[in-house]
Structure 1
Amino acid sequence: SFFITGRLRDQGVRRLQQNNRQMVEIFMPAGLTRDGDGWKLSVRVRLVHAQVRHLLAASDDWDHEAWGTPLSAAHVGYAISAFSARLLNHMKRLGARYSDEERRSFMDVWRYSGHLMGIPPAMLFKDEEDALRIFEVGGACEPPPPMESVVLANSLVNSAPLVAGITDPAERRRLVQYVFRVSRVLIGDTLADQLEYPNHTTMGVLPWFRMQERYGRIMERLFPGRVQGSNFTKFTSLLDVSVFDESGITYALPDHVYAEESRKW
């Protein structure tokens, strides 16, 4: 559906920054209370998905018999299992450490956000183990990545410098190569090859991340004040790659199936 509508071709950076904003807000204190921005943004995703389904239903570009319902609850449930449990596993491989309570809390936040986004209970994971099972089942049901998936995956990686606000061509190329390498080592060579990722070597990627994480923990014990400043910088950097409209959070929706012909939302 993203490929047909052009959501990542037209204003693609804005779409990614909106996603970043939601992921920041749902983890803010009180972010998922009724008046919290995380709550509002999660419900907004539900409304946007419903509107896109409505627009595609009236479009000749979507083959309902072959593809079923666009942005279905099953696909959203599959995706959120990747955003939650799969992400935790990736972070662990990169050297991050979380207590059992932190892991449960992370999963609970995503579970409630998924509920707000409209995933029915039967398709919404119950805990980390269940999310991994859903991800495994969903992956087994998915066909090999078609051309549209290849284009979107590579577009997402190449959008990273734009989302981060990097304009220098050499720096942009370095970041893209870096993201490709990290992504390849996390998703594995088989899927990376199917998505036509560049055949970059992944040797040393995970050990380097783990060394950095261990170094950070040592510095935290020795210089807690310095680490607090570094953490604040990382947090503000995350905010910098998120969308904060002056008008605040709105529930404006796309009004045309093609992004280039839709009003700004």
Structure 2
Amino acid sequence: MDHHIRTFWDKGNGNDLISWSGATINPDHTDYYKPMKLEYDTLGDLAAKEIFANRNFEQAYSYIQQLSRTIITPTDILPDNIKKMMLQMQEIPPWLDHNLIVAGCELSMRSGTNALISLRDYSLMGGYDYAYLNKALVYTGALKKGAAKRITDTLDFWTHVTRNNALEINHDGYQYAFRTRMIHCFSRIMIKEKHPAWDKETWGEPINFADMVATSIGFSLIFLHGLHKLGLDISQKEELGVFHLWKYIGYLLGLPTEYLPNNKKEATEMFYLWTTSQAAADEDSVMLAKALENESLASNIFQKAYQKNFLNYLHTSFVRFLVDKETCERLQISKIRMPYFFPRFRKMRNILYQKLISSSDKNYKRSVYLGNLIQVKISKEYLKAGNSTS
């Protein structure tokens, strides 16, 4: 096991995750993800090849959008693999619990800007510490496209798939999952066809199942741990709801659901095994992290320099608060004065606010309503600022 992994789990955020989740770490199974790194969404790739056959990207993407809005039956005439994939996505799995999906969506919404901070400054930034996970981003041009576009696209996706009823067939979240699955497949096909330098033996297949599980854990376990670090009270039902929500999203994205965790204990144990297959942050990781750190300066959300600089300082503060010291050093996160002042103030405010308001159903629904409003507003502001070309 690499030194950086041992440090993370012995005294970094990994140690916090073990204490918080009650996980039992088993160092004897560190080859668990080795075969999974060679597995990927083969059905999705076959469907993507049919979609992109004799079409340029614009025509193919328009077809993808059309398909994502369409309900089909077994008697419909479509290319075989497109039809097979769509029927699979439309099939509601027997394990799906609508009440847990609602609980996961409502926690995502009611956490408001805390959710966006946890996603950006903990899940996304912390993920850059794993060198192999980042290679698909590098080979698809993420460094050239810039962090503002990735933030915009990720936020746009997240705010659509985590709303109530969004994942029902052909609703907005379902359509986003459909389109994302096809973009994953197209990216993988492109990397394999055009980049012979891709190191399959070391990195696995592009956008493989092991890395997709880790990404799902970033949206569930790491997201929840970030909210916990920011002082939010989370009920057991909400917590289980978030894992259930991302299990279903994973299902729609083509992941075998037996690979996905059901709770924070399982997720932490899986995350540990996955990290043991990863190398520490490399030059690409540092460039991605630096681009994300400076995203506020490059983004068009604010026009004035002092606004951009203050937002940049705030995000660096939250990175320093949420991501452990050793990881920040590997990613070369800037050192700033009083890095914990604003994060600690937010945590204290969250704790006091929760003590002051009653836990009535009316207040809960109000928090969900207001959190949804602000999240959607911020997402639309990013889109309006021209940070996305999708």
TM bin (shorter chain): 0.7 to 0.9
- Determine whether 1:41 maps to 2:176: yes
- Counterpart in 1 of 2:161? 26
Contact 1:14/1:243, CA 8 A, preserved across alignment = no
| Letter of the structure 1 residue corresponding to residue 170 of structure 2 | D
| Letter of the structure 1 residue corresponding to residue 160 of structure 2 | E
- What RMSD over aligned residues (CA atoms) do the two structures have, in Å? 3.0
Rounded Cα–Cα distance in structure 2 between residues aligned with 1:151 and 1:158: 11
SS, match of residue 144 in structure 1: coil
- Counterpart in 2 of 1:13? 148
Alignment of 1:88-103 (within 5 A): 88-103=224-239
Contact 2:146/2:291, CA 8 A, preserved across alignment = no
Deviates more, 1:16-25 or 1:200-209: 200-209
Contact 1:160/1:175, CA 8 A, preserved across alignment = yes
Contact 2:142/2:150, CA 8 A, preserved across alignment = yes
Rounded Cα–Cα distance in structure 2 between residues aligned with 1:163 and 1:111: 32
Alignment of 1:205-216 (within 5 A): 206-216=343-353
SS, match of residue 144 in structure 2: coil
Q: CA deviation at 1:125?
A: 1.6
Rounded Cα–Cα distance in structure 2 between residues aligned with 1:163 and 1:227: 33
Contact 2:177/2:252, CA 8 A, preserved across alignment = yes
SS, match of residue 163 in structure 2: coil
> What's the TM-score once normalised by structure 2's chain length?
0.56
> Rg: which structure is higher?
2
Alignment of 1:56-205 (within 5 A): 56-60=191-195, 61-160=197-296, 165-200=301-336, 201-204=338-341
1:50-104 CA distances to partner (integer Å, 9 max, x unpaired)? 1101000112342334432111111010111121012111111111111111111
SS, match of residue 241 in structure 1: helix
Deviates more, 1:196-205 or 1:125-134: 196-205
In the alignment, structure 1 segments of 5+ residues that lack a partner are 247-263
Rounded Cα–Cα distance in structure 1 between residues aligned with 2:296 and 2:212: 23
Instruction: State the identity as a percent.
Output: 19
Q: CA deviation at 1:190?
A: 0.5
Contact 1:26/1:39, CA 8 A, preserved across alignment = yes
- Counterpart in 1 of 2:8? none
Change (3 A) 1:243 1:139: farther
Q: CA deviation at 1:209?
A: 2.3
Q: CA deviation at 1:4?
A: 2.7
Contact 2:247/2:257, CA 8 A, preserved across alignment = no
Q: CA deviation at 1:140?
A: 2.3
Rounded Cα–Cα distance in structure 2 between residues aligned with 1:198 and 1:219: 36
Contact 1:181/1:202, CA 8 A, preserved across alignment = yes
Q: CA deviation at 1:205?
A: 5.1
Contact 2:217/2:271, CA 8 A, preserved across alignment = yes
Contact 2:177/2:253, CA 8 A, preserved across alignment = yes
Q: CA deviation at 1:146?
A: 0.8
SS, match of residue 248 in structure 2: helix
Rounded Cα–Cα distance in structure 2 between residues aligned with 1:29 and 1:230: 14
1:214-257 CA distances to partner (integer Å, 9 max, x unpaired)? 33235534xx999988875653332133369x9xxxxxxxxxxx
- Counterpart in 1 of 2:186? 51
Rounded Cα–Cα distance in structure 2 between residues aligned with 1:57 and 1:43: 22
- Counterpart in 1 of 2:137? 2
In the alignment, structure 2 segments of 5+ residues that lack a partner are 1-135, 384-388
